[in-house]
């Protein structure tokens, strides 16, 4: 038994990428992205571009997190600068892989899935790195809220896509959010991460509350628009259902099975598992969220029902059962074990799905045979057929 059923693979052939965007900054970045992709050799596979950007993003984020694992300590200035550079690199490479796919004649559903899978991981590491850069660990509850809101927004963006069949980006969306994060990282690099602990003049608030408030407002607006589509507009399926013909509310179950355990386990932990290991705890649940979101993307692309049971949820279940049994295993040790398991489970799932699609479509993941397209007029005009758009943090499509 593979990860994908035969019927899912057949329906994958019928999938067509659909996206709309009113992003403020995407049109301004087009000239840079078009120039950058023109410098890529024709033999360079689009997915190789995507994974390279992701690895750079993850490594630079982990370096920053290493110096402040509790998100409370001052970090070296260069770690913030390196993280900002890594995010810009990821953004740029994430924006050109779809262009490279069209340029070489290698567009495929695999590219869309691979891109969104990488974006789901980037969301987790970017949210953790910015928390460390502003020492948000001193406000542990806000740090929890910000990181879980980021993965929830990413999930809901694909939830509305599963309902409407079209991925939609607003006026202030992922590109704008990424530049906001880069600005925060650069401020921390120049003035130090302790800068954010300074008081806002004439108030009792610290400066770190400013990006929290801005992020919460932007996230609330994005969430409102997503649920407006999910609950008010008719779905793309039969009788207003999802593209798979299921209830538009069905994806709430997997989301709830991530958010509820993350709150309960942190709240009832006798050892303060979250307070003592905030970045590790949020990374663990972020990986679970990435796994479940990838399954939602697959369900959308294959027009199939999303199953509620997921193997990655075994991690939170083990943590919860350990608490119910009065913690016979140290929670801190068990958290490391669970984190390793969910990371392995996510990588295994992504690898198997990609391999199955490669076999089905008779293509390779990281190598291509260039087939230059006769025209790239759409790309040069920055058309709304945006293979180079991203969700929070969504990417383009091959």
Q: What is the DSSP string of 40-76?
A: S-TT--HHHHHHHHHHHHHHHHHHHHHH-TTS-S---
| Catalytic member of 116, 139, 300, 360 | 116
Query: Per DSSP, which regions of the chain are E strands?
Result: 19-21, 167-169
Spell out the residues 6+ positions from residue 371 whose beta carbon is closer than 8 angstroms to its own: 104, 105, 106
Spell out the residues 6+ positions from residue 196 whose beta carbon is closer than 8 angstroms to its own: 133, 134, 135, 187, 188, 206, 207, 208
116 is catalytic: yes
Rounded Cα distance between 156 and 142, Å, is 20
Rounded Cα distance between 384 and 253, Å, is 32
Q: What is the DSSP string of 7-50?
A: HHHHHHTT----EEE--SSHHHHHHHHHHHHHTS-TT--HHHHH
Rounded Cα distance between 120 and 173, Å, is 15
- Chain centroid to Cα 198, Å, comes to 31
Number of residues that make up the chain: 398
Please list the active-site residues.
116
């Amino acid at each position: 038994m593979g990860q994908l059923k035969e019927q899912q693979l057949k329906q994958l052939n019928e999938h067509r990428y659909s996206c709309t965007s009113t992003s403020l900054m995407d049109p301004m970045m087009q000239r840079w992205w078009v120039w950058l992709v023109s410098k890529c050799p024709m033999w360079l596979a689009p997915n190789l571009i995507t994974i390279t950007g992701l690895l750079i993003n993850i490594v630079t984020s982990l370096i920053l997190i290493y110096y402040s694992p509790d998100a409370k300590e001052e970090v070296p200035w260069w770690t913030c600068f390196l993280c900002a550079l890594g995010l810009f690199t990821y953004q740029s490479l994430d924006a050109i892989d779809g262009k490279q796919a069209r340029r070489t004649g290698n567009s495929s559903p695999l590219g869309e899935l691979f891109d969104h899978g990488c974006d789901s991981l980037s969301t987790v590491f970017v949210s953790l790195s910015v928390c460390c850069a502003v020492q948000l660990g001193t406000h542990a509850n806000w740090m929890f809220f910000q990181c879980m809101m980021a993965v929830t927004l990413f999930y809901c963006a694909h939830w509305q896509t599963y309902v409407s069949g079209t991925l939609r980006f607003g006026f202030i969306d992922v590109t704008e959010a990424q530049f906001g994060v880069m600005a925060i990282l650069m401020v921390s690099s120049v003035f130090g991460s302790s800068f954010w602990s300074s008081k806002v003049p004439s108030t009792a608030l610290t400066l770190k509350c400013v990006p929290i408030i801005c992020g919460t407002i932007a996230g609330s607006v994005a969430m409102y628009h997503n649920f407006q589509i999910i609950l008010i507009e008719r779905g793309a399926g039969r009788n207003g259902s999802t593209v798979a013909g299921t209830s538009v509310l069905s994806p709430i179950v997997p989301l709830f099975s991530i958010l509820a355990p993350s709150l309960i386990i942190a709240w009832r932990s006798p050892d303060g598992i979250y307070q003592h290991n905030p970045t590790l705890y949020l990374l663990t649940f972020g990986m679970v969220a990435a796994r479940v979101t990838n399954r939602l993307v697959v369900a959308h692309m294959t027009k199939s029902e999303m199953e509620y049971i997921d193997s990655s949820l075994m991690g939170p279940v083990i943590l919860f059962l350990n608490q119910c049994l009065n913690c016979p295993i140290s929670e801190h040790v068990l958290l490391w074990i669970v984190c390793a398991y969910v990371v392995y489970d996510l990588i295994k799932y992504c690898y198997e799905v990609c391999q199955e699609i490669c076999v089905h479509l008779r293509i390779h993941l990281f190598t291509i045979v260039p087939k230059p397209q006769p025209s790239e007029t759409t790309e040069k005009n920055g058309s709304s057929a945006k293979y180079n758009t991203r969700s929070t943090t969504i990417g383009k499509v091959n």
